[in-house]
């Protein structure tokens, strides 16, 4: 009996070690709690983030232990990547946004248009007056397909009855990056320097890759499996994140 208990403890210990290795160095699941990335990521989406995409830092490990202040095997991110990072304000909270600006870039919004290095980002309207969530509010938004200079394109939402019209020019410091949410009028991101601002490369956690599960909370809790036939968004299962 004693040997059986010890074997079970060893099995659980090894399973935890394997899970820790996978979570820290390969893939980690994340849950989308806000609407800042609509229409591309929805509240209730559960996704896998690859931890190896940009190398490793202390934020690759659980609880971000202060054992090393640099990045190991760092790989350069690309404009348009959807990335999970720790907010500079507390180095603890996970945010997920789209990478828009690289070190040395300038970013500015002028009359609703996004400018990168003084060149207006190409965008094409694809839909008018779509319902978009913002916390407990639902507003009408116009959807645009934006295309970055490297050819990366994605869908953004701009509030139809008023948006962030103009900003000062943001200049991205060395080894830092500028992020924006796809739901442009409902996203706390690098435009808000006091709370998010420019994000250090060391704060990167990983690249968002795949939605493995999605549940509409308004139609049933994730834990109420008997309501999954109504709440699961089957069209989003195993959807690649662009």
- Which of the 8 DSSP states describes residue 25? H
A 10 A CB-CB count for 229 gives 10
Q: What is the pLDDT of residue 14?
A: 63
- Return per-residue pLDDT of the chain as tens, 242 residues: 666 676 667 667 667 777 677 777 778 999 999 999 999 999 999 999 999 999 998 888 888 888 877 888 888 999 999 999 999 989 889 999 999 999 999 999 988 889 999 999 999 999 877 899 998 889 999 999 999 999 999 999 999 887 777 888 999 999 999 999 999 999 999 999 888 999 999 999 999 999 999 998 877 676 776 767 788 899 999 999 98
Preceding peptide of 106 cis, ω within 30°: no
Paired strand residues for 154: 146
Would the pTM count as exceeding 0.85?
A: yes
The domain spans of the chain are: 2-240
User: Quick check: 205 and 77 in contact, CB under 8 A?
Assistant: no
Q: What is the pLDDT of residue 3?
A: 66
Length of the chain: 242
Q: What is the pLDDT of residue 210?
A: 96
Q: What is the pLDDT of residue 2?
A: 62
Residues known to be catalytic: 36, 97
- Rounded Cα distance between 174 and 136, Å, is 37
Q: What is the pLDDT of residue 19?
A: 66
Please name the fold of domain 2-240.
Umud Fragment, subunit A (2.10.109)
């Amino acid at each position: 009996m004693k040997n059986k208990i010890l074997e079970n403890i060893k099995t659980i210990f090894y399973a935890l070690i394997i899970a820790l290795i996978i979570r820290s160095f390969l893939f980690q699941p994340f849950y989308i709690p806000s609407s800042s990335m609509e229409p591309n990521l929805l509240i209730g989406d559960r996704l896998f983030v690859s931890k190896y995409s940009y190398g490793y830092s202390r934020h690759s490990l659980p609880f971000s232990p202060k054992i090393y202040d640099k990045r190991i095997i760092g790989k350069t991110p690309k404009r348009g990547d959807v990335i999970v990072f720790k907010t500079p304000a507390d180095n603890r909270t996970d945010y997920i946004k789209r990478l828009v600006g690289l070190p040395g870039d300038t970013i500015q919004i002028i009359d609703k248009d996004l400018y990168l290095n003084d060149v207006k980002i190409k965008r094409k309207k694809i839909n008018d007056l779509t319902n978009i969530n913002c916390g407990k509010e639902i507003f009408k938004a116009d959807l645009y397909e934006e295309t970055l200079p490297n050819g990366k394109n994605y869908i953004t939402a701009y509030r139809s009855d008023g948006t962030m019209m103009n900003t000062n020019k943001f200049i991205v410091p060395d080894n830092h990056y500028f992020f924006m949410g796809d739901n442009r009028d409902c996203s706390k991101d690098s435009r808000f320097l006091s709370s998010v601002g420019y994000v250090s490369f060391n704060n990167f956690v990983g690249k968002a890759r795949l939605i493995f599960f999605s549940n509409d909370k308004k139609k049933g809790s994730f834990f109420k499996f008997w309501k999954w036939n109504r709440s699961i968004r089957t069209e989003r299962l195993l959807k690649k994140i662009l």
